[in-house]
Amino acid sequence: MPGLASYRLDLTIGRTTYAIQPLAEKPCPGSRAFRLVKGDGTIYDVASTSHGPICDCPDYIFRRDGLDPTGCKHIKALVGSGLIDQKITSPVSGRR
């Protein structure tokens, strides 16, 4: 169709390329959320929240959530490309 734009945004992390799709459902107003789709069909959703970016990949869920403020490779790549912001909240003082 004339006048209809067609585009695709890809992101390569290491040797793996992901198709990036913006998600309409966002965790909070004003935030951004993206679906990363690998060639084999594996899907990861990454979103910015008021507490910082989150991802549903196993690395983030089991190794980084609440422990590594920079997040997994998917978060780092989206932050590095400017698609989401890296908001790091400081720990609450007095917590151990």
Q: Report d(CA 19, CA 1) in Å as an integer.
A: 23
What average pLDDT does range 69-90 have in this prediction? 85
% of the chain exceeding 90 in pLDDT: 55
Distance between CA atoms of 53 and 71, rounded to whole angstroms? 7
Of the chain, the percentage scoring pLDDT greater than 70 comes to 80
User: Using CA atoms, how far apart are residues 33 and 40, in angstroms rounded to an integer?
Assistant: 21
pLDDT value of position 93: 42
Q: What is the mean pLDDT of residues 12-38?
A: 87
Q: What is the pLDDT of residue 49?
A: 86
57-74 pLDDT, tens digit per residue, is 999 999 988 888 889 999
Closest C-alpha among 43, 42, 47, 51 to residue 78: 47
